[in-house]
Structure 1
Amino acid sequence: MVQVPNIKLNNGLEIPAVGFGLWKVTENTADVVYEAIKAGYRLFDGAFDYGNEKEAGKGVKRAIDEGLVKREDLVIVSKLWNTFHEKERVEPITRQQLEWWGLDYFDIFYIHFPVALQYVDPKDSYPSGWHNLEGKVVESKASIQETYQALEHLVDIGLVKSIGISNFQGALIIDLLRYARIPPAVLQVEIHPYLVQTALVDLAKEKNIVVTAYSSFGPLSFVELGWDSAHSTPPLFENPVITGIAKKHGKTPAQVLLRWATQRGLAVIPKSYSPQRLRENLEHINFNLTEDELKQITGLNKDIRFNNPPDYLNGTLYIFA
């Protein structure tokens, strides 16, 4: 089994550099998680918004019951959705998500997006998504400070070990650090060669916050959603820079893209249903790119952001403006 290196967080805890992302894992989720654990994955990145936490928890339980792993061997990650940002809603929904997973605590719990939306009861709509029951995107008045301090309380009472922030940009991070009693341990953002976000990564490193990159394969994750920006952008797997480097090292384009991230100190959370690609994604750490190759890949940057709310919410919520 591949020995995946760990990355140390600012609170002394460690996470694997390579995890398994659960976004869009909607079929046979329990089996997918179970097989990923068998393949060697120990971090699973979930969220309320993915709508699959109960099934993912079944996969974890099966692996633990069969003695493949212990709970403490795993890093289970989830996220607070936008409709639960008011302080009085944070603990109840976290407890509900833990119940779905069948767990007593999350290793990392993120604020999924830095925007608060009108509350939607999960009993009325699950996962609730961006819209209220009338189909409108309506913001609430909860501040990031209010929400973040509610997450700090989750740490205090043992429901969460580490706090994460997701889709946050520089100025907001700097402001958050002014009032954070418990500094965020991880920043999760979209990063791939078409969106390298070098300055944001540098800021996180300066503030001792580990960065996890999502959508490491660029447009691939979004093509099936039918988004124009993904369809009109050349696939990274076919980019001659990527394919040329892959051929030179005897690796797949996916392995090159993942190594470009992890060799720069980032964590990654790819997913796959294929046993072969599950292994390949883990095994990408077994080679190194040259400094010139890293620069070549970084040079592909086009500042194309695929997960941009205005693009799929009819021009609202300019989070990254």
Structure 2
Amino acid sequence: MALKPDSCVVLNDGHKIPVIGFGTYAPDTYTKEQAGESTKVAIDVGFRHIDCAFMYGNEVEVGQAIRSKIADGTVKREDIFYTGKLWSNNHTPERVQPALEKSLNDLQLDYMDLFLIHTPVELKPGDDPFPKDEDGKLIFNNTDIRDTWKALEACKDAGLVRSIGVSNFNRSQLELILNMPGLKYKPVCDQVECHIFLNQSKLLKFCKSQDIVLVGYSVLGSSRVENWIDQNSPQVLEDPVLNTVAKKLKRSPAQVAMRYLLQRGIVVLAKSFNPERIKQNFQVFDFELSDEDVLTLDGVNKNMRYLSIDVWKEHPKYPFHDEY
């Protein structure tokens, strides 16, 4: 199938997800208002898939941006695919729907297109998104993730969300849901870190076998301003192999890095707060990588993760101990 700006993947529940999305997470160096303004730019240049989360703290501004583009006639609500996420302090079943409703209220939208469990790691339920004990350690909780999933299924049945999925789940955690008694809806996707240094080939193969879409974040690498990123880690966009392919195709390294994932059937989330780069990141549909180019970029894989989130490692559901 030739990829076009309006290309979508059909999810296992029949809904469609655009193959390229705009990520709205902003480090502290950017304001929430900048996230909103960048979302407007993204919609103007052609993005129809907007990825956000309660934890990003900017759903009010992103919702305003979406509604302003609806109000000025650029898009209709049904043109936009909005993804939100359930944070780790809301996994207990009775907290799931209120958390979704809080996000919808902040967004001023009637429904979400996709709602994900942000991470399998669960924190103590309550208003504090990062509850800590007197020693400053995170307070973990351990609800059966299948009970959380049942609560998500109820949100789908109630019409609050059209599709439900997960994020940062490994294969065994996906299988726990897929094999649960009384499963009504399979996860439509698993949103995970994915780029040329972590190409997720094994998880991708498993997801395809289960009709689950792999959605990639940090596809261009990760910003060094994050205090949990190793400052010495190699940068995706500086990789010499990637740059050689990009030079040959007269494209930017970012465009080639994204196109590589798209051609492997991965839905790609691109994040930028620079209007020119937002525009460039959407210009990935008028060229193609050869099979040889794809194989060359396959060889760059290091199984290197930018976001290992070490403070979670003691949790029984920490997802990154497993190979995939």
TM-score by length of 2: 0.91
Alignment of 1:130-141 (within 5 A): 130-132=130-132, 135-141=136-142
The alignment status of 1:174 with 2:172, answered yes or no, reads no
Asked whether the 8 Å contact 2:38–2:274 carries over to 1, the reply is no
Asked whether the 8 Å contact 1:309–1:316 carries over to 2, the reply is no
Aligned equivalents of 2:159, 2:220: Cα separation in 1: 35
Give RMSD over aligned pairs. 1.6
1:23/1:133 CA distance change after superposition, 3 Å: farther
Q: Give the corresponding residue for 1:165.
A: 166
Q: Give the corresponding residue for 1:50.
A: 56
Equivalent residue of 1:79, what SS?
Answer: strand
User: How far does the alpha carbon of each residue in 1:4-27 deviate from its partner, in whole angstroms, 9 at most, with x for none?
Assistant: 311111111111111100111642
Aligned equivalents of 1:31, 1:85: Cα separation in 2: 31
Q: Give the corresponding residue for 1:259.
A: 259
Aligned equivalents of 1:232, 1:212: Cα separation in 2: 26
Of 189, 192, 196, 1:193 maps to 196
TM-score by length of 1: 0.92
Q: Give the corresponding residue for 2:208.
A: 205
The alignment status of 1:279 with 2:279, answered yes or no, reads yes
Structure 2: tracts of 5 or more residues without a match: none
Q: Give the corresponding residue for 1:289.
A: 289
Aligned equivalents of 2:199, 2:148: Cα separation in 1: 28
The alignment status of 1:113 with 2:119, answered yes or no, reads yes
Q: Give the corresponding residue for 1:19.
A: 21
How many residue pairs match? The answer is 309
Which residue type is aligned with residue 254 of structure 2? A
Aligned equivalents of 1:314, 1:320: Cα separation in 2: 10
Q: Give the corresponding residue for 1:6.
A: 8
The alignment status of 1:216 with 2:219, answered yes or no, reads yes
* Displacement of 1:228: 5.0
The alignment status of 1:102 with 2:108, answered yes or no, reads yes
Asked whether the 8 Å contact 1:192–1:217 carries over to 2, the reply is yes
Aligned equivalents of 2:312, 2:212: Cα separation in 1: 33
User: How far does the alpha carbon of each residue in 1:143-194 deviate from its partner, in whole angstroms, 9 at most, with x for none?
Assistant: 1101001000000000010011100111111121012310111110111111
| Bigger RCO of structures 1 and 2 (CA < 8 A, at least 6 apart) | 2
Aligned equivalents of 2:161, 2:228: Cα separation in 1: 34
Identity among equivalent pairs (%)? 36
The alignment status of 1:62 with 2:95, answered yes or no, reads no
The alignment status of 1:316 with 2:314, answered yes or no, reads yes
* Displacement of 1:89: 0.4
Aligned equivalents of 1:80, 1:132: Cα separation in 2: 19
